[in-house]
Amino acid sequence: MKRIIAIIALALFAGQIVAAQEKNDTRDRKNEISFSYGAGSFNHLMGTMLGISNLHGSDFGYDTHNVNSTSSGAFNLEYLRYLGDLEIWAVGVSTSYEHTKSAITLKENALNVGSVYFDFISIMAEVKHRWAEWPHVAMYYKLGVGVSFMINKEENEKGTKTLPAFQLNPACVEFGGEAFKGFLELGWGSQSLSQLGVRYCF
């Protein structure tokens, strides 16, 4: 009888150790690396406006010219680390890359005025707040500020300009397991109007 009681007690003790270890494993995942893709960014808008200025300056008019502005979309890489035991606030850094092209033609005769190409590289410090959480789903918002390097690809005007970078995403959701998650973020800034991506937590 004593042997049975000892075995049961040992099994309960082992179960508690496993449960505690699983809980600690969850808390240990304070770091996350994310990759996302987005469209409709502030950098795309700036590339269009600066392309118009470079190509036609004050002579440009929407009644006389057509503008065809395209973008590769923003490719975003991000690292964040959660603070404290509650793990609702995280801070980190992100970098983004986007290529834009602005082509202008005359409406009257479809004459091509020219094309301007820009590369944007943005680096931002970020803060994230997770304000609601359920099993496998969490809601959060994110803010980032930093700098963008705009690289002019024109042959006669090659150079780099520095612009402000920002990202404000008030509506964000992440979903998945403890290690791997998917996410959707809505807002605006250097990373885009909407982002869809994947996240690894460790």
Residue 144: pLDDT band by 50, 70, 90 thresholds? very high
Phi, psi of 145 (to 5 degrees): -140, 145
Contact 119, 97 (CB under 8 A): yes
Note the pTM of the prediction, 2 decimals.
Answer: 0.79
pLDDT in tens, 89-134: 999 999 999 999 988 777 777 777 778 899 999 999 999 999 999 9
| Residue 14 host element (H or E) | helix 2-28
Domain boundaries, the chain: 30-201
pLDDT in tens, 163-195: 999 999 999 999 999 999 999 999 999 999 999
Q: ∠ CA 65-159-43 to the nearest 5 degrees?
A: 55
CATH number of the domain at 30-201, out of 1.10.630.10, 3.40.190.10, 2.40.50.100, 2.40.160.20?
2.40.160.20
C-alpha 199/C-alpha 202 separation (Å) is: 10
Residue 201: pLDDT band by 50, 70, 90 thresholds? very high
Average pLDDT, the chain: 84
**What confidence score (pLDDT) does residue 155 get?**
57
Whether residue 52 is predicted with pLDDT greater than 90 in this model: the reply is no
